[in-house]
């Protein structure tokens, strides 16, 4: 038996997260005691473990009699037993001044619009228990679940309890955590130095992002570091998400990455953490407009702030440029290719293209481009409004400037400002000389007369 991360059962309206459990266990006034239990069953057959954490928190009794408040029903001894990806069991005792005729539990993930409802059987002393099959009806990992009870009493009126919320953590692993400012890093393999290195990488990521495109992180953000790709894949699948090398959930303020402790941990931290953090920061800053960004731009920004640039991107770009197999950015607006090789090239191109736009048009140009897209302009029109050039023209300029294609064209265009200058330098004196000569001739003519 092994203690795992603390479950967080919170009264509604409080954010699940970094606040201490003791200060946040604010159940309905009048409750004396609340108990929480967390049950953990790993999925891997190798190490079958069952861990139960029982935490009893005593709260001060403010009133001699329970308050029924808005609901006419009080929830006592609320327990939530989570087996991540498998089931969630809600247990409580319902207390009311009148006999309870019917009871049900209602719950949803905090950002969901649909509320799940289940009827309840009343047990002895109106105790209730409901088990939700989280393997069939998945919930996102680390999301906040809010639940409440509804009863019909003997007066034929319906009453609702005060909502309670908790965080649906991936409790298959014994997470450790370290916090600095808005960032909390969680990990379960690796020592303190591993956690500190991850926290440092996350902190540097915020600075790098702010340098590239001025966005600051105003809300708390959690980075979960899985020890291997298999563990992360399991979490994403059990949470109903697509398999990916890393995952960012801006709504939850959660980033999930796989970084095994070892010699390459530093490189992986400096690559994966900034990339996923950038997605969350962009999404927070742009709100609903984030979804309107072309994929090449959101991935381009996220890849550009990676603290350890991927050396294979250059190789892929040069090879595709020589083979004339570069992808058109117009084809990377809505999605990236499904096959791994072309998807890799799409990331490489997006990073290089976004960096080129940043160096050619500066942060202001990049911000104008972002706002054109968040305003709803199409992939091509956004480029025209922000940078006065079509996406195709920008693509050509990028190929020429970064990949050395059409070098003569680049040279001519680069010479153009100098040619203009030369023209001004030469033409002005010539025109001046001609004018002086003309004036002299006119003067001589007048003298002759
Ligand atoms: Zn990405």
Question: How many CA atoms lie less than 13 Å away from 407 in the CB half-sphere?
Answer: 2
Confidence (pLDDT) at 218 = 80
pLDDT at 434 over 80: no
- Mean pLDDT to the nearest integer, 347-351: 97
The Å distance, Cα 275 to ligand 1 centre, comes to 6
Q: Which residue has the higher pLDDT, 380 or 2?
A: 380
Confidence of residue 29 (pLDDT cuts 50, 70, 90): very low
CATH number belonging to domain 175-287: 3.40.30.160
The Å distance, Cα 278 to ligand 1 centre, comes to 8
pLDDT at 284 over 50: yes
The Å distance, Cα 175 to ligand 1 centre, comes to 25
What are the residue ranges spanned by the domains of the chain? 9-168, 175-287, 293-405
- Mean pLDDT to the nearest integer, 41-69: 30
The Å distance, Cα 227 to ligand 1 centre, comes to 20
Question: Domain 9-168 is in which class?
Answer: mainly beta
The Å distance, Cα 379 to ligand 1 centre, comes to 18
**Residue 287: which residues within 8 A CB-CB, separation 6 or more?**
none
The Å distance, Cα 334 to ligand 1 centre, comes to 14
What pTM, to 2 d.p., does this model score? 0.73
The Å distance, Cα 5 to ligand 1 centre, comes to 28
The Å distance, Cα 209 to ligand 1 centre, comes to 14
User: What digits encode the pLDDT tens for the residues 4-14?
Assistant: 333 445 443 32
The Å distance, Cα 240 to ligand 1 centre, comes to 18
Can you read off the two tokens belonging to residue 330?
A: 């117009």
The Å distance, Cα 280 to ligand 1 centre, comes to 10
Question: How many CA atoms lie less than 13 Å away from 388 in the CB half-sphere?
Answer: 2
Confidence (pLDDT) at 45 = 29
Distance from C-alpha of 449 to C-alpha of 443, rounded to nearest angstrom: 10
Confidence of residue 359 (pLDDT cuts 50, 70, 90): very high
The Å distance, Cα 303 to ligand 1 centre, comes to 7
- Is residue 153 within 8 A of residue 159, CB to CB? The reply is yes
- Mean pLDDT to the nearest integer, 259-275: 95
Confidence (pLDDT) at 398 = 95
Confidence (pLDDT) at 429 = 58
Distance from C-alpha of 355 to C-alpha of 212, rounded to nearest angstrom: 9
The Å distance, Cα 138 to ligand 1 centre, comes to 23
Confidence of residue 217 (pLDDT cuts 50, 70, 90): confident
The Å distance, Cα 105 to ligand 1 centre, comes to 38
pLDDT, mean over the chain: 80
- Note residues around ion ligand 1 (Cβ under 5 angstroms): 299, 302
The Å distance, Cα 306 to ligand 1 centre, comes to 11
Render the burial of 76-109: b for 16+ CB within 10 Å, e for the rest.
bbbbbbbbbbbbbebbbbbbbeeebeebbbbbbb
Confidence of residue 238 (pLDDT cuts 50, 70, 90): confident
pLDDT at 89 over 80: yes
- Longest C-alpha distance within the chain, in Å? 130
The Å distance, Cα 371 to ligand 1 centre, comes to 19
Confidence (pLDDT) at 71 = 56
The Å distance, Cα 245 to ligand 1 centre, comes to 9
């Amino acid at each position: 038996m092994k203690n795992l991360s603390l479950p967080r059962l919170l009264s509604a309206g409080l954010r699940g997260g970094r606040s201490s459990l003791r200060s946040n266990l604010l159940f309905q006034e009048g409750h004396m005691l609340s108990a929480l239990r967390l049950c953990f069953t790993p999925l891997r057959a190798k190490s079958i473990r069952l861990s139960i954490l029982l935490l009893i928190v005593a709260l001060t009794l403010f009133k001699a009699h329970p308050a029924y408040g808005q609901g006419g029903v009080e929830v006592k001894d609320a327990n939530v037993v989570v087996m991540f990806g498998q089931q969630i069991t809600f247990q409580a005792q319902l207390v009311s001044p009148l006999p309870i005729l019917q009871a049900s539990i209602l719950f949803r993930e905090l950002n969901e619009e649909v509320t799940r409802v289940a009827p309840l059987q009343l047990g002895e002393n109106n105790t209730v228990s409901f088990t939700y099959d989280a393997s069939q009806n998945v919930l996102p990992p680390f999301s906040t679940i809010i639940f409440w009870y509804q009863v019909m009493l003997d007066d034929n009126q319906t009453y609702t309890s005060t909502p309670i919320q908790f965080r649906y953590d991936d409790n298959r692993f014994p997470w450790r955590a370290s916090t600095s400012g808005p960032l909390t890093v969680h990990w379960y393999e690796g020592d303190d130095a591993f956690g500190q290195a991850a926290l440092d990488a996350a902190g540097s990521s915020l600075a790098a992002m702010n340098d590239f495109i001025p966005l600051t992180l105003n809300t708390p953000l959690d980075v979960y570091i899985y020890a291997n790709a298999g563990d992360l894949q399991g979490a994403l699948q059990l949470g109903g998400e697509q398999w990916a090398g890393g995952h960012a959930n801006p709504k939850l303020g959660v980033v999930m990455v796989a970084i095994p402790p070892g010699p390459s941990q530093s490189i992986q931290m400096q690559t994966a953490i900034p990339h996923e953090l950038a997605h969350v920061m962009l999404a927070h800053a742009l709100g609903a407009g984030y979804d309107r960004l072309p994929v090449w731009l959101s991935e381009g920004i996220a890849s550009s702030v990676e603290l350890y640039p991927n050396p294979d991107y250059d190789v892929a770009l040069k090879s595709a440029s020589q083979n004339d197999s570069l992808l058109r950015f117009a084809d990377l607006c809505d999605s990236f290719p499904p096959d791994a090789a072309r998807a890799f090239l799409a990331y490489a191109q997006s990073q290089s293209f976004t960096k080129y736009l940043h160096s050619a048009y500066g942060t202001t140009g990049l911000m104008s481009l972002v706002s054109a897209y968040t305003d709803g302009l199409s992939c091509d029109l956004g480029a025209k409004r922000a940078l006065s050039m079509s996406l195709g023209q920008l693509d050509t300029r990028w190929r020429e400037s970064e990949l050395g294609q059409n070098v003569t064209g680049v040279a001519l265009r680069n010479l153009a400002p100098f040619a203009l200058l030369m023209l001004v330098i030469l033409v002005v004196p010539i025109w001046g000389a001609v004018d002086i000569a003309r004036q002299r001739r006119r003067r001589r003519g007048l003298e002759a007369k």
